[in-house]
Amino acid sequence: DSPTSFAEVQGAGGETHQSTNDPALTLTSAQGIPVADGQNSLKAGPRGPTLLEDFQLREKIFHFDHERIPERVVHARGYGAHGVFELTDSLADICRADVLGTVGQQTEVFVRFSTVAGSKGSPDLARDVRGFAVKFYTKEGNWDLVGNNIPVFFIQDAIKFPDLVHSVKEEPDRAFPQAQSAHDNFWDFTSLSPEAWHMVMWQMSDRTIPRSFRTMEGFGVHTFRLLDAEGNSTFVKFHWKPRQGLQSVLWNEAVKVNGADPDFHRRDLWEAIESGDFPVWDLGVQLFREEDAAKLPFDHLDATKLIPEELVPVRIIGAMTLNRNVDNFFANTEQVAFCTANVPPGVDFSDDPLLHGRNFSYLDTQLKRLGGPNFTHIPVNAPRCPVMHFQQDGHMAMTNPKGRANYEPNSWGPEGGPRENPARGTTSFAAPLDGPKQRIRSETFADHYSQARQFYLSQQPIEQKHIGDALTFELSKVVRVDIRARAVSHLLNIDADLAATVANGLGMALPEAAVAARPTIDLPTSD
């Protein structure tokens, strides 16, 4: 019953021992065994040898030895925060998802922003696409909107993703470059992949050197479906629009920031939230029906295309505020597991072949990254609604099903566990399917340059100059001149002046234009 004491004494070797008699503050092993001395291993005599018997030493080092988990195979470097989403405009007439139904309803979220190519320790201001992943903890389970800060993607089919990522990561023999500068392999791949060139134009723009995570847009990229209670479908594209405005830095600022403070973006987000300056994004949707989609001059299932806002305006339906920093980076930001397949009843997939590959990939990679099938038990991944199923066991099982029955159907009555709910349960859009099984790329995916040109022409002159400068700089680092020429040949299909500027900057003759798989079309460029 003695009062709580704290003492600090020097040990025989000058090491500091800080001790207490308060049970609540007592240092313990992972098994809860109180520790008397955490600074000295158990030895035979003052000068050793150290005894194998020392379970305290072994446990401490054993745990330390296993602190690292695999970093994400892409988007390894990221920073997360908690927040809340509030619906301001109901979609109940076209969507049965509870989260999109009731105006004023608030839903907790966790968001992770990231770079794509760099490793976990890479600098924040790399020229790179940024991930913008949002987990909504809805009453009907977790909904993950796993997007980027750019509305289109490099490739049209998920089967190319390993090649894309291998080409953008370090070259396998020498393990450099880590970034895209000086990257023969990246430009080799993209110059052999015409579908990449719309995204390449965005990537060479100021969008890939954002001033802050707070000043980035976000996009769900793919076309998804919203389903009403009768199963009717509306296509949807998701947009996040920052109330802080869209801002970038200049390339030479980015280079300096990377050297002076490689944590610039994570520090910026953490400090803003910590000081109560909570960043807010509006959630917008572009909604269109099957018959509208048929009239678009490109395929809405092609993730290298966007739907111009002139054709389908963005309707704002809610706002997301990030208002709480993580209290443990590893537990939350590192262990969060997003997956495009996580959608509540009323949100469904289109037939975008990139999306279908993603729906497999995230779950698969997380099985390894998070050490087994039970990562939904980790608090940041755990739904905030009841979870009732018959899945059990496996590594790190925290919430095995309770009761007698662990299978269905069963005849244990009310004690027999959860039951199917046809009225509330998730359903898929009953799309009629018909066609030969084949490995093929749709001819409707073949126009790779019209939207690339539309993006370039919609930029202000200074933004166009930055794109030209970025292309010239990046390609000047490519050693193989044939790869440079192949890259510039794509620019000729996008904008002749841009191609000439870059060729001139590289000191090379203009090559022949790359063959356009399909004639391009003129699209509006009003903003």
The residues that touch ligand HEM, with contacts defined as CB under 6 A, are 72-75, 78, 112, 114, 131, 133, 146-148, 153, 158, 161, 221, 303, 336-338, 354, 357-358, 361-362, 365-366, 369
Q: Phi/psi of residue 264, each to 5°?
A: -50, -45
Cα(290)–Cα(295) distance, integer angstroms:
9
Question: Closer CB to ligand HEM, residue 366 or residue 489?
Answer: 366
For residue 359, the minimal CB distance to ligand HEM (Å) is 9
Comparison of 97 and 150: residue with beta carbon closer to ligand HEM: 150
Minimum distance from CB of 178 to ligand HEM (Å)?
Answer: 18
Minimum distance between the CB of residue 426 and ligand HEM, rounded to whole angstroms?
22
Q: Following CA atoms 166, 206, 212, 100 in sequence, which dihedral angle do they give, to the nearest 10 degrees?
A: -80
Q: Is-catalytic flag, 395?
A: no
C-beta closer to ligand HEM: residue 100 or 354: 354
Report CA Rg, the chain. Answer: 27
- 368/424 with CB nearer ligand HEM: 368
Q: Least separation, in Å, of the C-beta of 15 and ligand HEM?
A: 40
d(CA 501, CA 510): 10
Closer Cβ to ligand HEM, 337 or 467, answer by number:
337
Question: Please, how many CA atoms are within 13 Å of residue 392, restricted to the half-sphere of its CB?
Answer: 9
CB 300, min distance to ligand HEM, A: 14
User: Could you tell me which of 325, 383, 378 has the C-alpha nearest to residue 83?
Assistant: 325
> CA–CA separation, 285 vs 136, rounded Å?
16
**Terminal-residue alpha carbon distance, the chain:** 73
Please choose, from the candidates 523, 482, 487, the residue with its C-alpha nearest in 3D space to the C-alpha of residue 502. Answer: 487
Task: State yes or no: is 148 an active-site residue.
Answer: yes
Whichever of 29 and 365 has its CB closer to ligand HEM, that residue is 365
**Smallest gap from residue 298 Cβ to ligand HEM (A):** 16
Q: Which of 82, 142, 148, 300 is catalytic?
A: 148
Helix axes 251-260, 461-476, angle to 10 degrees: 60
Q: Supply the minimum distance, in Å, between the C-beta of residue 124 and ligand HEM.
A: 14
Residues 6+ apart with CB under 8 A from 389: 401, 418
Alpha-carbon gap, residue 110 to 354, rounded angstroms: 24
Which residue in 15, 527, 16 sits closest to 314, CA to CA?
A: 527
Q: Contact, 102 vs 78, CB < 8 A?
A: no
Q: Which residues contact 259 (CB under 8 A, 6 or more apart)?
A: none
Classify 53 as helix, strand or coil. coil
d(CA 452, CA 473): 19
Contact of 55 with 41, CB cutoff 8 Å: no
Nearest residue to ligand HEM, using CB? 131
Run of H or E residues at 113: strand 106-115
- Active-site annotation, residues: 75, 148
